[in-house]
Amino acid sequence: MEFQNKEVDALVQKISGLHSAISKLPSLSPCPDVNALFTDLVTACVPPSPVDVTKLRPEAQEMREGLIRLCSEAEGKLEAHYSDMLAAFDNPLDHLGVFPYYSNYINLSRLEYELLARYVPGGIAPARVAFIGSGPLPFSSFVLAARHLPDTMFDNYDLCAAANDRASKLFRADKDLGARMSFHTADVADLRGELAAYDVVFLAALVGMAAEDKARVIAHLGKHMADGAALVVRSAHGARGFLYPIVDPEDIGRGGFEVLAVCHPDDDVVNSVIIALVFQEDTRQRRSMRWFRRSAGYTHQSPSCRRSARAPT
């Protein structure tokens, strides 16, 4: 225990130093200094760690919250930069590999698809999918549409009109994918009847950065999604919680869902993945009570994803 405490203290000190250095940057647009600091940050956060970021001291919690906001801003600028670069090609989709982390999206999307296929009752063949927080580089929607869901229509939502404009340009040369991709500028809180049309909704990691904001978003989705529809939530675990918000599966249960699977990768896929289903109306109260009775014993982590999820009951 003492060794773990020392390890955690050293990690928090290192990350605090990186947060201080990043905070002093004049801009978070891609450049050698920005790239080097965020590379150091990711390198520090990705390896398995005993740290529980939800139990940090208040000053460390405040630092973490600020760091996640900086990561969000830097990620947006990085994606905008590469989206503009890709748009200069005749067929942008032929050159997605220029983005340095494209392989991570391939692996994350494959993981999400495999979890859906394994744990959603009856398998997964959605007619319509929504991605909330798609950004200027909608890699996840592209990978899912091109590699896993060839007949599915994708509606991509983002708060930023400029991000949607950039994203739509990437599909201009591919008639099939372009016909299956739509981009909408909207706040998820303003979506109501639209949400009932989707078989699966993906919630990006940076939609609702504070825990209470994320919980409100999830509860809103639970209220308006169709009975039996699937929700895919991106979260984080361990030190990766310095990069992205951590989502408590109990908040998902309270939001009107039954959690089917929680997966914490231990490889270069940074995000954790949670798969849930909207409670059907006629069993909502009974299943919600069942969730609260057993939530204290819920298993959240396995080093690999093969055993981290339980089958629905």
**Fold observed for domain 102-297:** Rossmann fold (3.40.50)
Residue pair 174/209 in contact (Cβ under 8 Å)? The answer is no
d(CA 20, CA 92): 36
d(CA 269, CA 156): 22
| Least confident segment among 131-135, 266-270, 294-298 | 294-298
Distance of CA 84 to the CA centre of its chain: 23
**CB contact burial 265-274 (16+ within 10 A = b; e otherwise):** beeebbbbbb
Indicate if the pLDDT at residue 93 is higher than 80.
yes
Going by C-beta distance under 8 Å and a sequence separation of 6 or more, which residues neighbour residue 146?
177
d(CA 108, CA 17): 29
pLDDT in tens, 14-46: 999 999 999 999 999 999 999 999 999 999 999
Q: Which long-range contacts (C-beta less than 8 Å, at least 24 apart) are formed by 37-41?
A: 38/71, 38/74, 41/15, 41/67, 41/71, 41/242, 41/243
* Nearest one of 96, 25, 50 to 240, comparing CA atoms: 50
pLDDT in tens, 94-114: 999 999 999 999 999 999 999
Residue 100 per-residue DSSP state: T
d(CA 134, CA 207): 10
pLDDT in tens, 155-190: 999 999 999 999 999 999 999 999 999 999 999 999
| Residue 12 or 285, more confident | 12
d(CA 205, CA 125): 23
Residue pair 278/242 in contact (Cβ under 8 Å)? The answer is no
Residue 282, pLDDT score: 57
Indicate if the pLDDT at residue 303 is higher than 80.
no
pLDDT in tens, 200-259: 999 999 999 888 999 999 999 999 999 999 999 999 999 999 999 999 999 999 999 999
Q: So where are the chain's domains?
A: 2-98, 102-297
